[in-house]
Structure 1
């Protein structure tokens, strides 16, 4: 492969990754809603790109279970049953709990400071009743913890579960509970991690994720 071809391929892969990453954020923060149709053309126009990187990103998300693909290459956010949503939150809790238990033995003062800043962001977004901003700050908090596990399999699996559960978590906090109940026990989680209390960190993280299970079981 010549240098020009390699540069072109690298640029295409970078563009695909950029579109994919932005769509992941849209799913995690509930910008894309359950059962919402996703238009390749409209997305391409909004990103100012051709349809090719958009199609590649959507195809990848569909292969990961974050989108459903239909006839004629149409895509839609899954309209999960309450049982399916609850099951996803349960698995996310189990995996995140394992990652938090590992993280408690590895976390640094710098990372604890990042976690505290994420908590402060969640409070600001809570006061503004900004669900998308809250969910992004919440994801940053949790992601920082499970990345500390230094286990690439756990990280990839949990990341994908956040993308899958995002639209449903957004639906839940916007429509099923009072905004004052959005916050979990994030300060207690930080305390457990700071103390190296792996068991408590795992329990608190699991309880935080299992909140999604109970939310959808209650509203079934």
Structure 2
């Protein structure tokens, strides 16, 4: 690992001892990984400015434990200067990724979705909700908890537009007799299956992601 360059973004960093950071990276090759960046908080370090969120990086890491050492660091593109709602959305993407993605597991497709989300977020971006839902759905897919939107998990019957369904953990959507604050209409599920992100579809996607991610974030 010590001689291999990794494509990476900073998800989070925190002070460590007097002159260092512990940095949580999202890498293309290793997934989420943490490393000690030694000496970067000192006035003489020229690497601190690179360890910023949303900056595409190339890094080299060493060490056999879960907590690696950052040995090399360089920019892999221009720093994205986000402001306003775009900044809040990007910080949310970083936080949710850092909290729910297991460490040390390659997640190349999610890494691509992450980079796409950052590139799409712009100041005054009207499509921010769409971008966030797309990323959350990619995260559900990576975690292996994306439910089937076309089939009742209990009966194996096709989803009916006029019926109501609730998400049962580790099983999927099952029909219920009455609508509730936790239920989805069959129409909503079929919209999700078709990736219909019209306003009703986005609303359903937001509810779904909150429910499905809750066990991971508490």
TM-score (norm 1): 0.28
Between the two structures, name the one with larger relative contact order (CA 8 Å, sep ≥ 6). Answer: 1
Structure number with higher helix proportion = 1
Structure number with higher strand proportion = 2
TM-score (norm 2): 0.28
